[in-house]
Amino acid sequence: MAIPLLRDFDIRGKSVLVREDLNVPLEDGRVTNGARVDAALPTIRHCMAAGARVVLVSHLGRPRPGERDPALSLKPVANALGDALGCTVPLVDDWKNGIDVGWADVALLENIRFEAGETANDPALAQRLAALCDVFVMDAFGTAHRAHASTVGVAEAAPAACAGPLLAAELRALGRVLDDPARPLVAVVGGAKVSTKLAVLESLTRVADLIIVGGGIANTFLLASGVTIGASLAEPDQVDVARRIMSQVEVPLPVDVMTAAAIDAGLSARLRLRGEVESDEMILDVGPETARRLSDIVAKAGTVLFNGPLGVFELDQFGEGTRVLAEAIASADAYSVAGGGDTLAAIEKYGVAEGMSYRSTGGGAFLEYLAGETLPAVAVLEGRTAPYRK
């Protein structure tokens, strides 16, 4: 799709409003994981270096619309940004009458979800945001699936609107996977339920050469194949869906699994061959032979999409399948894209983040894009004029 890009704009002397996804975890007033802050820095530095007045907008958590929850203030994020940028980043709570920002300076609006009309895409709030800028820059892929005032409404109301470098990079990476992948394309889809990723699985059957399933999703596919899964998490009402997917694309099922009587950090994992799971046991990971076979598959892939762990990786005794597969993806020659909170947590845990070709910052947006859905905050940028092009 053709959308205006920030790199093509001359923003010197302009006021720029940048929507970033700074929805980060906090503890005791400090940012505990700054990945999203780090991801936003290149865009912010670009705008500052270009001599623009820079105003950032983001949400944090899910406060009640119109209520200011001190626990969800962006003050810790402003501090983290200031440390990273080497300057003071003021947090602006009252911006009804505009913001005084100097050339090449940056300010951060307080949590935009404190405003009553944000999630309802209120036109009045969108107009207030648009009044802060000459150019609106949508750079928050993680919120691109939400039609909110700070993502869609302002893009419609601003004098000019474009995609920032982070959003553009996300779209390029996913486009490379879905539109013109190097073959074979191997998709790894893990998670608890088929129903939550049904649209993704259905979409991937049309582009993937092979789909590796993990977690509760794999259990449902085993059940659909007539395999005994004991007390494992599964969705019996989705077995017909699983059978349909297996009829359309290759889905290698586990040949061995790791089980326990419950999800408990103190329990030892038991190795079982497929079909030999006891009635009181839960499948919590794939076994070593399955992990080896799956690693061989990704080693020969041209493209790998990684969305979801193979087991309960938070517990070490049920994380070996995910670890082995993540390491295989990281060491493969394939172009690899990893996305989703659990996936990123797993690759960080096993120290393989740098081996991934691209790590997506999106959660829900990542899944909706994979499912072929239109992202409202991307669609609104199509056809926008670019009066400040270089």
Task: Just list the catalytic residues.
Answer: 36, 193, 341, 364
CB distance 332 to 303 below 8 Å: no
Per the rule left: phi > 0, alpha: psi between -120 and 50, beta: everything else, 229 is alpha
Give the C-alpha separation, 214 to 298, whole Å.
Answer: 15
d(CA 148, CA 365): 14
Q: Which of 336, 301, 46 is closest to 185 using CA atoms?
A: 301
Tokens (6 digits) for 193 = 């339920």
- Contact assessment for residue 232 and residue 220, using Cβ atoms and an 8 Å cutoff: no
Paired tokens of 26: 């906090």
**CB-CB contact of 370 with 181 (8 Å):** no
